[in-house]
Amino acid sequence: MIMSTQNQLFKVLLPSSPCILPLLRSKFRKAFPRRRLTTNNFSTQAITRQLSVEQEQNIIDLETKGHTIVNGLFSTEEIKKMQADYKGIRKTAMSIIDEEPAQPRVWEENGDVTTSQYWLRDDKVILQAGVGRYDLWRGFNTGFFASEALVNNPKLEPILKHCLVDNYGSYRGMILSDPGSSDQYFHRDTDPLENVGSKGKALMAVDDFYFTCLIPVTGDVTPENGPTEFLEGSHRHCSDEFEGLEEAEVCCPLGSAVLFNGKINHRGKGNRSEKDDRAVVYAVYHKEWYNDQFRKGVDQT
């Protein structure tokens, strides 16, 4: 779209000599190359920012599959800082889980009743996300996890800007999945946007407004310690149309991240390793109009 505006400006600003125009036009095109993507099922014209080939591929993956790997987000120093801060966070989380009473949680997910539990202490909320899996949802946004490397990561930001356009913000939490943990329940990260039911009909009609980035903390995410499983393409389908969609287990190296559309149906797989304490940060980016400080079945009074 910007390119066509540039073409129009070009016509207005330059003398319309028929022989000079093609030459100038080709110089202009060299300076501002058209960036086209090849994909089957979405308009490529909307991508007008200067993105690397890798970032363009990330955007194509997000549209077609609903998830993508964004490589090389953090330096070795940043990874060290992240791992150091993680140790303190884990200690606090484990003391809450050990010392506070577990509260029951019951809610509906994709048309099914789902049960779990959660723990509260001061500003902190930990949600159980399957046996041996903990979602440090609230109150753990400190140190490296509140730093620019996560809030405004230079590799991630252009992709998010493309997907969310404007007026979006972020927060971060963490998933702990210890050896022996079970598979998580399948879920979308977004609300289905329905007063009754949870199939996602209204959700499908709304522009994308929520993306989650899962960042390995303790080491690579492997098939043994618990990849993230996606129902590919489900970000474009109500749950009564899920049949026939393929499942894909996605691993991720330390220093990179899995980015996905919050509308996609997914879950963390159990940790079958002997001793990998598999932890990932989730950085959520969503439009300001959406409220993610609410979880069904959690008493927040």
Ligand X SMILES: O=C(O)CCC(=O)C(=O)O
* CA–CA separation, 292 and 270 (whole Å): 25
Q: Can you tell me whether residue 219 is helix, strand or coil? A: coil
Report in angstroms how near the CB of residue 125 gets to ligand X at its nearest. Answer: 14
Report in angstroms how near the CB of residue 130 gets to ligand X at its nearest. Answer: 9
Of 14 and 249, nearer to ligand X (C-beta) is 249
Among 126, 268, 276, 285, binds ligand X (CB under 6 A): 268
Is the CB of residue 211 less than 8 Å from the CB of residue 261?
yes
**Radius of gyration of the CA atoms of the chain, in A:** 22
User: Crossing angle of helices 2-13/20-31, nearest 10°?
Assistant: 140
Tokens of 69: 């790997």
Point out the residue whose Cβ comes nearest to ligand X.
268
**Secondary structure element (H or E) that encloses residue 94, with its range:** helix 76-99
* CA–CA separation, 225 and 275 (whole Å): 9
Contacting ligand X within 170-209 (CB under 6 A): 175, 184, 189
Backbone angles phi, psi at 273, to 5 degrees: -75, 165
Using the rule CB under 6 A, give the single segment among 59-67, 157-165, 190-198, 261-269 that binds ligand X: 261-269
**Secondary structure element (H or E) that encloses residue 126, with its range:** strand 124-128
Report in angstroms how near the CB of residue 7 gets to ligand X at its nearest. Answer: 43
Among 60, 156, 160, 280, binds ligand X (CB under 6 A): 280
Does 212 bind ligand X (CB under 6 A)? Our answer is: yes
Using the rule CB under 6 A, give the single segment among 28-36, 141-149, 232-240, 265-273 that binds ligand X: 265-273
What CA dihedral angle connects 149, 56, 284 and 67, to 10 degrees? -130
Among 228, 256, 261, 273, binds ligand X (CB under 6 A): 228
Does 79 bind ligand X (CB under 6 A)? Our answer is: no
Does 128 bind ligand X (CB under 6 A)? Our answer is: no
# chain residues binding ligand X, by CB under 6 A: 11
Q: Which residues bind ligand X (CB under 6 A)?
A: 175, 184, 189, 212, 214, 228, 266-268, 280, 282
